[in-house]
Amino acid sequence: MPSPRKSPPPDPQIPVARRAIVRAGAAVAASTLLGAWLRPLVAQTERVPLPDAVDLRRLVAANRILAHENVVDAFGHVSIRDPRNAQRYVLARSRSPELIELDDLMEFELDGTPLDARGRTPYGERMIHGAVYEARPDVHAVVHNHSYAVLPFTIGEQALQPMIHMAAVIGAQVPVWDIRDDFGNTDMLVRRMDQGRSLAAALGTNTCVLMRGHGAVVAARNVKEAVMIAFYLQVNAQVQLQALGLGTAKPLSAAEVELSSATQFSPLALDRAWEYFCVRAGVEPV
Amino acid sequence: MPSPRKSPPPDPQIPVARRAIVRAGAAVAASTLLGAWLRPLVAQTERVPLPDAVDLRRLVAANRILAHENVVDAFGHVSIRDPRNAQRYVLARSRSPELIELDDLMEFELDGTPLDARGRTPYGERMIHGAVYEARPDVHAVVHNHSYAVLPFTIGEQALQPMIHMAAVIGAQVPVWDIRDDFGNTDMLVRRMDQGRSLAAALGTNTCVLMRGHGAVVAARNVKEAVMIAFYLQVNAQVQLQALGLGTAKPLSAAEVELSSATQFSPLALDRAWEYFCVRAGVEPV
Amino acid sequence: MPSPRKSPPPDPQIPVARRAIVRAGAAVAASTLLGAWLRPLVAQTERVPLPDAVDLRRLVAANRILAHENVVDAFGHVSIRDPRNAQRYVLARSRSPELIELDDLMEFELDGTPLDARGRTPYGERMIHGAVYEARPDVHAVVHNHSYAVLPFTIGEQALQPMIHMAAVIGAQVPVWDIRDDFGNTDMLVRRMDQGRSLAAALGTNTCVLMRGHGAVVAARNVKEAVMIAFYLQVNAQVQLQALGLGTAKPLSAAEVELSSATQFSPLALDRAWEYFCVRAGVEPV
Amino acid sequence: MPSPRKSPPPDPQIPVARRAIVRAGAAVAASTLLGAWLRPLVAQTERVPLPDAVDLRRLVAANRILAHENVVDAFGHVSIRDPRNAQRYVLARSRSPELIELDDLMEFELDGTPLDARGRTPYGERMIHGAVYEARPDVHAVVHNHSYAVLPFTIGEQALQPMIHMAAVIGAQVPVWDIRDDFGNTDMLVRRMDQGRSLAAALGTNTCVLMRGHGAVVAARNVKEAVMIAFYLQVNAQVQLQALGLGTAKPLSAAEVELSSATQFSPLALDRAWEYFCVRAGVEPV
């Protein structure tokens, strides 16, 4: 029989702060998240020239939600345009969305130059965000993800289409961009502004664009909508894939997409979803 | 190396009630749910003209169960007919089922008029419930959901059929209703009583009706049966989809549907399932 | 914004025992399970003429494991032959496997007659167990389940076959039994000994038999093996279904089934799996 | 109504150490894992001639991660080459990866001879590790797993290929090895060095090799990379299977595989993923 799993007293040689890294199990997670949210925001905003604290906390929440709903894994990111300066955006340092806290947020110029790095390393693909903000003044939040359910539509023969009313928010057309078309063989990442601009051109006036063998980009008016779109893009992909297994499948009409999308973005639906997503992810519905 | 995730002391400027919003992790969830159940029901029933407290607590449980089993996500709802007045029904305010508590329950006339709104916003699609109660005196509980496993059958070429004995409760026929047939392009939602009545007509004397690109409605004799039907509708959809991937699939016969359904609704089976669902969802098996 | 989720103080009018019903969240679950395991077994065995306490605790563990691994849901059951009397078997009262405790175990004659009901209601399908024990003296543990992954193979066109070495334990042949063949239209349940005997005849000398539109039966030499077989029957079904989606799939040879099966049932493999299953299900690896 | 689930006081006859076996629920898990990590490593390394403590803790973390991400179940294992002696490797005793602690680690000669068994039973398939280390001096970490998503590609008609940039790390070619080709009917396990060498020959200079009806082997430069490869091998299998359901699917080009792979193994990506995996699995990101 296996020996029992013992819990010896903590090693006094390991500092307390280091022990706190370990987030094993719900109880620890709860207190950690709670702690993160209760951390004074005043000091934070004094130190860094960042937008209003509510926007920042909402961006942190978006990171946690996308991770909790498996829209992102170790990779993927979400940003907001700085509401005080349209030529800047806020995005986390290079870290998995599930772990993002307020201190991880950085501000960037549209060309990707960090404004206050303080030793923090930015995401290599932040040009996606800058290029979309540059091309689309109407966009104030961007998600980039590698959702496993969406990926088959980036390499398969069938176009992803809105099939269910909740996913009308993805828009009537979802183009696929292939980095190889303009840039030949690469490491697949959008590392430069010219690559980001090519991607933004493929996005056009749509809400979502797929990236061949890579993932998706969502461009939205605000971060709540961005989360909802990214989530239902994933649900729609799963539903469409299964429906195609039954034969042909009937998509929403263009008019239904427009009308349903407006309804999904109404406060009645959007706030209901936001509260739900936040509570599930263990963050305050700010 | 990443900096540790710290848990600073709570910010005294943030009120205690606000901190309690955060439901992160099982420990917090447990105490929250426990608290909700232990809240005195007397005050509740004195304040609002609602049916017996057991029925209400069972309706709250149904909300939590359907969320826990992924039959509903941020959207979807479940109602009961008021046992004291067949011309009224009880349904939560506009909130995700996972978060519903006793205080969220509202009472409506069959035409959707709220009786005691107290500032609470009702679901936009409550007409589904009223129209079904109006058309079907035998129905005392209604579920509306967007189960991801069921959705392919609302847009695909294959009819959803009872394939397994546990799903005999869905009935021999599961019609599909398309709002576009009667109402042209809409936002897909059942917002008006004429739309609800069209849907109820498609339901007919059946137990379930699918809604193209939208979801499903379950009409049952009581809320326990409604939960069981909605749950096994989802299981049946998953099993049928996979079986069709192997070629043709053999459904239950009409007689098997009738006989199995009666067995599944016997106290022996129904109470066993109800206890199971409640414990999993963290609510008292009332 | 939604109102915060409050946790008021417990209502003193609700007894403590009743509060303890609610098993919401892991912390409560942990202490509850621990409590169940630590309950003195002496009193239990004095009161009921049941086999050795270790066998009983292992049977409770098997219930919990099968539920935790989604082999059973609200329905399904597992039994052992009484090691002191081969004409009897031990099976829980009618309750979901996830919730089974020592007090739920009952003893039966092979024809399904309970020996010490004490007001407890037995499972309606216990005849499955008695009929298999009657026909197969080599069998000392039986599982009946409705695993969702297995169900497509009970109604589809493809035979379930051992495809992976871990699933060699299911045996080279997995026949499908259809209750309609011998008994016409029924409620699909095995309620009588003649139905159980028909099922046992279809099982023959195999390890598993599928039931059309219903589920599966596993017949094993002991309860650890029964759990392993039921678990990998489910895994094999999922793998085979996906492999068939890629074209034809290469099964194990008959010799590989025999040789791999012996290896999987060796203490090295079986005890490793048992410890794993028990820890995941939160029960002591007895 | 079912009786409440009681939590009686602990039985004083059951020793405390035995009670601690039960790891039911997150709270217990958290303290257990924390305890394991804080256990003094000095005593451990004095007793056994093992490599540096950081390497050992990282190997324990790799076990937990692979289990948490469902890359391994009760079976499967991960090893490292001893950095102080290239003719030896470190691998756990025969136990499920989810349960591995520092005390479970053993050291072996390349031919599988244990150096300090201390009564511990080694894995029957450790020859996989020795044979790969023998054939590939560039390899310092090996994973063997039975990932359910990968298994269909070991028995189906389609070759597994890198389809998404995150999975470029699996390499351009993923050969399939069939033990029956060289050794006829066996129990499918790699028990002897000649079998291991046959497998290593099939692996060749690739990163991954599939084993018909059995699983996969991953050969990497270090344990972090091994975990990343094994994880994205699984993701790629799922994505490719679904994409093939939509028709043909476009894989990465050979140049994209090479370029993307280098990016994924950069500290920016690898450390981000490692922190994510560790936190999710409840272990310190060492």
pLDDT in tens, chain D (286 residues): 333 333 333 333 333 222 222 322 233 233 333 333 333 333 344 444 556 789 999 999 999 999 999 999 999 999 999 999 999 999 999 999 999 999 999 999 999 999 999 999 999 999 999 999 999 999 999 999 999 999 999 999 899 999 999 999 999 999 999 999 999 999 999 999 999 999 999 999 999 999 999 999 999 999 999 999 999 999 999 999 999 999 999 999 999 999 999 999 999 999 999 999 999 999 999 9
Residue D7 vs residues A25, B278, C30, C46, C65: alpha-carbon distances, Å: 22, 19, 10, 21, 20
Question: Residue A184 to residues D164, D167, D266: CA-CA distances in angstroms?
Answer: 16, 19, 21
B21-46 pLDDT tens trace: 222 223 323 333 333 333 333 334 44
Q: How does pLDDT run across D62-87, given as a tens digit for each residue? A: 999 999 999 999 999 999 999 999 99
| Terminal Cα distance for chain B, rounded | 50
Residue in chain C lying closest to B32 (CA): C7
Residue partners of A7: CB distance under 8 A and separation at least 6: D20, D31, D32, D34, D35, D36
Contacts of D11 in chain C (CB under 8 A): 38-40
Q: Give the per-residue pLDDT at C41.
A: 32
Q: With an 8 Å Cβ cutoff, are C239 and D151 in contact?
A: yes
* Averaged confidence pLDDT in chain B: 86
Provide CB contacts within 8 A for D276, sequence distance 6+: A73, A74, A96, A98, A99
pLDDT value for C62:
98
pLDDT digit string, tens, across residues B133-186: 999 999 999 999 999 999 999 999 899 999 999 999 999 999 999 999 999 999
CA distance A7 to chain C (A): 16
Q: For chain A, how are helix, strand and coil distributed in percent, rounded to 5? A: 45, 10, 45
* Helix or strand holding residue B13 (H, E): none
| Whole-number Å distance between alpha carbons of B95 and C224 | 45
Within 8 A of D243 by CB-CB distance, chain A residues are 151-152, 155-156
> CB C75 to CB B34 under 8 A?
no
**Rounded to 5°, angle at Cα C116 from C115 and C117:** 110
Report the pLDDT value the prediction gives residue B42, as an integer from 0 to 100. 31
Residue C154: the pLDDT is 98
Torsion angle defined by CA atoms of residues D161, D167, D168 and D174, in that order, rounded to the nearest 10 degrees:
-40
User: How far off is chain A from C257, nearest CA to CA, in Å?
Assistant: 28
Q: Chains that contact D by 3+ CB pairs under 8 Å?
A: A, B, C
pLDDT number for residue B240: 98
B139, B210 Cβ separation under 8 angstroms: no
Interface of D with B (CB under 8 A): 1-2, 25-27, 275, 285
Type and span of the H or E element at D103 = none
Q: How far is A60 from chain D (nearest CA, A)?
A: 16
Regions of chain A where pLDDT drops below 50: 1-48
SS (H, E, C) chain C: CCCCCCCCCCCCCCCHHHHCCCCCCHHHHHHHHHHHHHCCHHHHHHHCCCCCHHHHHHHHHHHHHHHHCCCCCCCCEEEEECCCCCCEEEEEECCCHHHCCHHHEEEEECCCCECCCCCCCECCCCHHHHHHHHHCCCCCEEEEECCCCCCHHHHCCCCCCCCCHHHHHHCCCCCEECHHHHHCCCCCCCCCHHHHHHHHHHHCCCCEEEECCCEEEEEECCHHHHHHHHHHHHHHHHHHHHHHCCCCCCCCCHHHHHHHHHHHCCHHHHHHHHHHHHHHHCCCCC
The token duo for B50 is 């609602």
Mutate which: A250, A258, A265, vs B, most B CBs within 10 A:
A250
Q: Helix H segments across chain D?
A: 16-19, 26-38, 41-47, 53-68, 127-135, 151-155, 179-183, 193-203, 223-244, 254-264, 267-281
Residues C202-259 have pLDDT tens digits of 999 999 999 999 999 999 999 999 999 999 999 999 999 999 999 999 999 999 999 9
Residue C109 β-bridge partners? C88
Q: Are A249 and B156 in contact (CB under 8 A)?
A: yes
**Cα–Cα distance, A170 to A156 (Å, whole number):** 19
pLDDT score at C50: 59
pLDDT at B51: 62
- The reported pLDDT for the residue numbered B7 is 34
Cα(C260)–Cα(D187) distance, integer angstroms? 4
Taking CA atoms, A6 is separated from D19, D20, D24, in Å, by 10, 7, 14
The dihedral over CA atoms of C161, C167, C171, C172, expressed in degrees to the nearest 10, equals: 40
The half-sphere exposure of C3 on its side-chain side, counting CA atoms within 13 A, is: 12
Select the residue of A1, A26, A275 nearest C2 (Cβ to Cβ): A275
Nearest in space to C227 (alpha carbons), one of C174, C276, C161? C276
Would you call A2 and C26 a contact, using CB atoms and an 8 Å cutoff?
Answer: no
**In chain C, what residues touch A2 (CB-CB under 8 Å)?**
275, 285
In this prediction, residue A87 carries a pLDDT of 98
Contact (CB, 8 A) for D107 and C283? no
- The pLDDT assigned to A51 comes to 62
**Per the CB < 8 Å rule, is D263 touching A22?**
no
With CA atoms as reference, the chain A residue closest to D24 would be A25
Instruction: Name the residue facing C213 among B20, B242, B252 (closest C-beta).
Output: B252
Residue with tokens 């309690």: B20
Task: Judge whether residue C35 has pLDDT over 60.
Answer: no
Q: Do A155 and D168 touch (CB under 8 A)?
A: no
Contacts with D180 from chain C: Cβ below 8 Å: 253, 256
Residue D242 DSSP code: H
- Tens-digit pLDDT profile for residues D34-47: 333 333 333 344 44
Q: Is D219:D81 a contact under the CB 8 Å cutoff?
A: no
Q: Which two tokens stand for residue D124?
A: 């029957």
